[in-house]
Structure 1
Amino acid sequence: MLYGSILRACRERKGWNQEEMAHRLHVNQSDISKYENNVKEPPMSLFQKWALVTGSQDVLVAFIAGMEGMTILSTILSTVGTAIVGGFINLGGLL
């Protein structure tokens, strides 16, 4: 499962950079990058904490329930005023 874009969108919804996220999760910034780029899979406990500190518990529930990733991203991004350009969701390079 490609979860990196979902994690990145949750972090960006809070307005945090990777350093801030790493500080809040007590991990290295390089690990945040690896998780967001699907290089390293976070343990479920970290995914839970990520959702909690970003206020994205709804994302965790959707993820566990097997909701399709684009639906989750669409929901996250609708809360930050995603721009619709030419029929495509502008994800700021996330996809």
Structure 2
Amino acid sequence: MKYGAILRACRERMGFSQEELANKLHVNQSDISKYENDVKEPTISMFRAWMMNTQAQEVLVAFICGMDGLNIMQKVMQLLGG
């Protein structure tokens, strides 16, 4: 499954740069870029930490409940006002 767009939308919703989020997650900025560009797949613990740090727990719950990526993105975009 492709997670990059979901991860990016959550980060951008909080107004974090890749570097700011990387500092919060204790990883390199290049790792954030790899996750967002679907080069590297996040572990469940990384996905959870990302969602907690971007205050996007509803995305994590939707994902765990089996909602597909498109529906998750539509929900994130609604929250962004777009």
The alignment's TM-score, normalised by the length of structure 1, stands at 0.83
C-alpha deviation, 1:6, in angstroms? 0.4
* Structure 2 unaligned spans of 5+: none
Partner of 1:57 in structure 2? Answer: 57
Instruction: Measure the CA separation in 2 of the matches of 1:65 and 1:22.
Output: 27
Partner of 1:93 in structure 2? Answer: none
C-alpha deviation, 1:49, in angstroms? 0.5
Question: Which has the larger strand fraction?
Answer: 1
SS in 1 for 2:47: helix
Partner of 2:15 in structure 1? Answer: 15
Output the amino acid matched with 1:10: C
Instruction: Measure the CA separation in 2 of the matches of 1:66 and 1:2.
Output: 14
Partner of 1:72 in structure 2? Answer: 72
Question: Which has the larger helix fraction?
Answer: 2
C-alpha deviation, 1:76, in angstroms? 0.8
Question: Could you say what the CA RMSD is over the residues aligned between the two structures, in angstroms?
Answer: 0.7
SS in 1 for 2:80: coil
SS in 2 for 1:79: helix
SS in 1 for 2:2: coil
Structure of greater Rg:
1
Q: Which has the higher contact order (CA 8 A, sep 6+)?
A: 2
Q: Are residue 6 (structure 1) and residue 13 (structure 2) matched?
A: no
Q: Are residue 36 (structure 1) and residue 39 (structure 2) matched?
A: no
* Structure 1 unaligned spans of 5+: 83-95
Output the amino acid matched with 2:51: A
